[in-house]
Amino acid sequence: MKILIINPNSDVKTTEMLRKKSSRLCAPDVEADCTQLMTAPELISSYEDCACTAAEMIELVKKSENDYDGFIIACYSDPNTEVIKEITDKPVIGIAEAAMRFAAVASDNFAFVSTNSKSAARKKALARKYYCSDELAEVIIPDTPARESLEKAVKDARDNGIGHVILGCANYSLYDASIESDTGSVIYDGLACAIGYIESMVRYNIYKKSVKGVIV
């Protein structure tokens, strides 16, 4: 099984972080490639930035479709997931959708740690889109992107009765394991959730083909 993880910005450091982390997350029989867009902004911080990535992302998926079994959009704005799902029959998911769906199944309330007020508004819109708005109890904006501020945000959520948290920036995933250990909260890493989702969908499609026409 091969998965393509698309970093929809042009930041090479983020792509390298995704590559290293995905190599530890994938099942032994799964290979994940990571790439970034060359003409995209360095960061995705607005709906305009999302729109700017569309053309290159569409071209990339069309060229790569026969080489991969599924695609992950590795940005918590989930840019262009609808159009990517439209142009391929392969499983596609953004890391925000994956994390929210996992969190909503596991708990009746969860918090999203976001980067700024505009990003927070996009997270709330995505929760409505994915029918997770009832479970999304709070969107928290930390004082800084430093680990200490993220941990404080998680502790604040826990003090408010919210023990399940999504760290809503791809680069925050550097801290998810240590913050979970230090706070006791359940931290959802969108990349891990997305890889699990794509692996499961591909295996399920293989299963469906194997039992086609068979009464089980």
Q: What is the DSSP string of 111-168?
A: EEE-SSHHHHHHHHHHHHHTT-TTTEEEEE--SSSSHHHHHHHHHHHHHTT--EEEE-
pLDDT at 213: 58
196 belongs to a structural domain? no
Same domain as 186, residue 103 = yes
12 belongs to a structural domain? yes
pLDDT at 144: 83
Same domain as 108, residue 87 = no
Same domain as 110, residue 90 = no
Same domain as 186, residue 114 = yes
DSSP E strands in 21-65: the ranges are: 31-36
Residue 4 belongs to what H/E stretch? Answer: strand 2-7
Same domain as 135, residue 164 = yes
Q: How far apart are the first and last CA of the chain?
A: 26
Same domain as 32, residue 51 = yes
pLDDT lower than 70: segments of the chain = 212-216
Same domain as 89, residue 127 = no
pLDDT at 170: 81
37 belongs to a structural domain? yes
- State which of 39, 68, 95 marks the end of a domain: 95
Same domain as 133, residue 49 = no
pLDDT at 212: 67
140 belongs to a structural domain? yes
How many folded domains does the chain comprise?
2
Buried b (16+ CB within 10 A) or exposed e, 181-207: eebebbbbbbbbbbbbbbbebbeeeee
83 belongs to a structural domain? yes
18 belongs to a structural domain? yes
Same domain as 107, residue 78 = no
Residues of the chain by 3-state class (helix, strand, coil), percent to 5: 50, 15, 30
Q: Which domain holds residue 38?
A: 2-95
Same domain as 148, residue 136 = yes
125 belongs to a structural domain? yes
200 belongs to a structural domain? no
CATH value at residue 18? 3.40.50.12500
State the chain's mean pLDDT as an integer: 90
Same domain as 108, residue 59 = no
Same domain as 105, residue 66 = no
